[in-house]
């Protein structure tokens, strides 16, 4: 299969590191011009420099702005007025006792993880439907289905994204625009390393800490390891390509078999 996105413009939110940066690199390798997003211009510039080392012939543009706010979203829309591929990757997570999560924290998680994606979909979808082609994706999580007790507020936002994705897919029915969610399993990123060490002995070497985390906190994983960001990106690039034209309204799993179900 040739995943050719030549001539397409893509925006990946939260793409200065981790899964978002891997997705940006994957889309660029497929030929897309990729807008890299982060809150701070300096961070976006540094990420683009790193991406150009990974994909020397890649085309990257800066789209700095905090898309969890209206003003930040306006900055991004000014930098990238239209896109062919929108990947709503931005997300925050962290462990917290359920009874200690404040109202403000519940709101913050919803605004960052859900409302930012809704706002950008609302902005970009009309032009996609008008031209008869587009790809919108939401990076969800196994926590959307298997709600973790240590971060209920995060799981709630990822469940919400599944509903948002399905709803917008119905709105875009028959237009040539596809809308899907990608359910990412436990993934190896810098942020996840910090999270792992919140739950296991901080003095353990990383390989041993990872094994203990998977054994004690994610025992359902069938691959019995953390997923690499590039493995998530592979699914995203496929869904962004013309080859995925019959896949819409779906929640596709890249979870290492973590979710113990035939369907999401």
Options 109, 138, 154, 258, the catalytic residue:
154
Joined tokens for residue 116: 């930012």
Residue 194: count other Cβ atoms within 10 Å of its Cβ: 10
Handedness of CA 119, 123, 126, 129 (dihedral sign): negative
As to burial, measured by CB atoms within 10 angstroms (0-12 exposed, 13-18 middle, 19+ buried), residue 228 is: middle
Distances (CA, A) of 119 to 71, 157, 177, 251: 11, 15, 17, 20
- Residue among 37, 39, 78, 33 at smallest CA distance from 59: 33
Which sign does the torsion angle of CA 92, 62, 139, 121 carry? positive
Mapping DSSP to helix (H, G, I), strand (E, B) and coil, where does residue 181 land? strand
Instruction: Tell me if residue 258 is catalytic.
Output: no
Q: Closest by alpha carbon to 98, among 144, 156, 48?
A: 156
Maximum CA extent, the chain: 55
Say if residues 253 and 223 touch (Cβ distance below 8 Å): no
Chain Cα centroid distance, residue 245: 20
Residues noted as catalytic: 154
């Amino acid at each position: 299969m040739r995943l050719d996105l030549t001539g397409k413009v893509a925006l990946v939110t939260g793409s200065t590191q981790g899964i978002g940066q891997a997705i940006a690199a994957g889309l660029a390798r497929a030929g897309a011009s990729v807008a890299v997003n982060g809150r701070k211009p300096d961070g976006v510039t540094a990420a683009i420099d790193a991406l150009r080392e990974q994909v020397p012939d890649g085309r990257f543009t800066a789209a700095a702005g905090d898309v969890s706010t209206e003003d930040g979203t306006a900055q991004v829309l000014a930098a990238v007025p239209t896109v062919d591929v929108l990947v709503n990757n931005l997300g925050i997570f962290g462990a917290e006792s359920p009874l200690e999560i404040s109202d403000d924290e519940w709101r913050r998680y919803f605004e960052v993880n859900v409302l930012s994606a809704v706002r950008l979909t609302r902005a970009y979808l009309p032009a996609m439907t008008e031209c008869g082609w587009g790809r919108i994706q939401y990076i969800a999580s196994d926590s959307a289905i298997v709600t973790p007790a240590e971060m209920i507020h995060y799981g709630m936002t990822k469940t919400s994204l599944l509903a948002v994705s399905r709803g917008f897919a119905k709105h875009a029915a028959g237009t040539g625009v596809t809308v899907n969610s990608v359910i990412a399993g436990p993934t190896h990123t810098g942020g996840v390393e910090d999270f792992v060490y919140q739950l296991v002995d901080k003095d353990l070497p990383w390989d041993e800490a990872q094994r203990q985390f998977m054994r004690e906190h994610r025992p359902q994983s069938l691959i019995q390891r953390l997923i690499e960001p590039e493995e998530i990106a592979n699914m995203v690039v496929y869904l962004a390509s013309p080859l995925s034209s019959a896949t819409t309204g779906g929640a596709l799993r890249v979870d290492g078999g973590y979710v113990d179900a035939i369907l999401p």
